[in-house]
Every structure is written in structure tokens, then in C-alpha cells.
């Protein structure tokens, strides 16, 4: 066990999840999805900008761009 294992991994992981949630809420939902009607751009953006959510969706046998709180 080292400093990295005990401190940096949980802090970095939590920071990544918070950053992805902020990108999903403020950039994707409130800006991009209101500015464009192109479904392909929305799906690709959701998959690329929120990789942990996309991987979690694939593990649930869902499409990577699916969000439980909104359509598409």
C-alpha cells in the first residue's frame, strides 16, 4: 500500500465521476442537445464525453448513449 493506492486513486476516481456528471449536465444536456437536432452528433458526444457512463451502460446491455433521465 502506498500513498497512491490510499489517497490518489479514490480522489481521482471521484473527481472523474464529478467531472463527467458536470459535462453531461452543463455541456451535453443544457447546451449541445438544445443547439442541434442531429441525433448522430448527440449519440457520439454522449459516448465520448462520458466514457464511464457509456461503459456502465454497455455492461447493463444498453446502448452507450442511453441516459435514464432523458430520452434517446
pLDDT (0 to 100) of residue 20? 94
Assess if residue 16 is contained within a domain.
yes
What are the pLDDT digits (tens) for 27-52?
999 999 899 989 999 999 999 999 99
pLDDT (0 to 100) of residue 70? 79
Indicate the number of domains in the chain.
Answer: 1
Domain around 34: 3-59
Say which residues have a Cβ less than 8 Å from residue 63's Cβ, sequence separation at least 6: 43, 57
Q: Is 63 helix (H, G, I), strand (E, B) or coil?
A: coil
Give the chain's mean pLDDT: 91
Assess if residue 20 is contained within a domain.
yes
59/65 Cα distance (integer angstroms): 13
57/51 Cα distance (integer angstroms): 10
The whole-number average pLDDT for the span 14-25 is 94
**Cell matching residue 8:** 490518489
Assess if residue 70 is contained within a domain.
no
15/5 Cα distance (integer angstroms): 15
Assess if residue 69 is contained within a domain.
no
Amino acid at each position: 500500500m502506498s500513498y497512491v493506492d490510499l489517497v490518489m486513486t479514490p480522489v481521482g476516481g471521484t473527481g472523474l465521476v464529478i467531472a463527467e456528471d458536470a459535462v453531461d449536465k452543463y455541456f451535453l444536456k443544457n447546451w449541445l442537445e438544445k443547439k442541434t437536432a442531429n441525433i448522430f452528433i448527440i449519440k457520439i458526444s454522449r459516448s465520448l464525453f462520458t466514457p464511464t457512463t457509456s461503459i456502465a451502460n454497455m455492461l447493463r446491455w444498453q446502448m452507450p448513449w442511453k441516459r435514464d433521465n432523458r430520452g434517446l
